[in-house]
Amino acid sequence: MPIDRQRAEAFGDDPARYDRARPSYPNELIWDLLADDPRTVLDVGCGTGIASRLFQAEGREVLGVEPDSRMAAQARARGLAVEECRFEDWDARGRRFDLLTSAQAWHWVEPESGAAKGAKVLKPGGRIGVFWNHPVHPQEVMAVFRNAYGQHAPHLLEGESVALGTLRFDAAAVDPDADALRNTGAFSGIERRFFWWTRTYSTESWIDELPTHSDHRFLEAGRRDRLFDDLQRGLGRLGDSFDVEYCTGLVTAVRNR
């Protein structure tokens, strides 16, 4: 499908909130991608550097590529080297990397040209790993969602929303990202892996995250305020906090030698 550039560029409206509120990624995923001991990492669509910092913490040299100058500035403030450009248009200037990652951002890259570019900037034997968080909410939380969204934003409840966990994913389904890597002829060992983990939210921290999702950000302001008020009341009745189980899905492959 065509990439919605308005939605793709909405995240930089409040980069500090994005950096503060968005979930991180499980250690098991990071260790899995570092199993081959890569030293240099290229993080595509690095945003504010949430994933990049996890690789830095493991002693890797990380370079981010990010098209939004506001997100890039936030990442630099947190100690990440960033070059501002869409990945498809980015000039690597002959540099090649041991590991290419993209956290929650590869769907904003055109699949075929992104896969081809990835093959060009990886060293032979280097690995690509693109991954996303998918939340699975407890039944009592989904009941609150059905009530609040049913009144104020039913299209989000009925559609595919990352925040609500209604974005469909299936371990057995055909994956267009894996297909794009396969079509280059430059990758082998193409596979999908899944990592389960849990994050605890307070009502305030959950609502703080919601405006970082483009489908929520584009709600009319009055409707969004009423929705958040109802969520505040409904989730508050459940107690001080609630757990969200995440499945982080990874598509990975190795650059042919």
pLDDT of residue 227: 98
Please measure the distance between the N-terminal and C-terminal CA atoms of the chain and give it in whole angstroms.
Answer: 32
Considering the chain, what is the average pLDDT of its residues? 93
pLDDT of residue 193: 95
Whole-model pTM? 0.93
In-domain check, residue 213: no
In-domain check, residue 236: no
Query: 202-241 burial, b if ≥16 CB within 10 A, otherwise e?
Result: ebeebbbbbbbbbbbeebeeeebebbbebbeebbeeeeee
Residues near 172 by beta carbon (within 8 Å), at least 6 away in sequence: none
What are phi and psi for residue 105, nearest 5 degrees?
A: -140, -15
In-domain check, residue 68: yes
pLDDT of residue 93: 97
CA triple 248-250-256, angle to 5 deg: 165
Question: What range defines the domain where residue 120 resides?
Answer: 5-136+168-200+245-255
In-domain check, residue 222: no
At 143 the three-state DSSP class reads helix
Tell me the CB-side half-sphere exposure of residue 133, using CA atoms within 13 A: 20
In-domain check, residue 156: no
At 118 the three-state DSSP class reads helix
In-domain check, residue 104: yes
Domain count, the chain: 1
More confident residue, 194 or 172: 194
CATH label of the domain that carries residue 52? 3.40.50.150
Lowest mean pLDDT among 58-67, 163-172, 180-189, 244-253: 163-172
48/20 Cα distance (integer angstroms): 10
pLDDT of residue 202: 97
User: What is the enclosing helix (H) or strand (E) of 130?
Assistant: strand 122-136
Asked if residue 27 lies in contact with residue 3, where contact means CB atoms within 8 angstroms, the answer is no
Length of the chain measured in residues: 257
Tokens of 198: 């849990």
In-domain check, residue 230: no
Give, in order, the Cα–Cα distances in Å from 203 to each of 22, 144, 235. Answer: 14, 12, 6
Over residues 119-166, the pLDDT tens digits come to 999 999 999 999 999 999 999 999 999 999 999 999 999 988 999 988
Over residues 177-217, the pLDDT tens digits come to 999 999 999 999 999 999 999 999 999 999 999 999 999 99
Residues near 176 by beta carbon (within 8 Å), at least 6 away in sequence: 111
In-domain check, residue 237: no
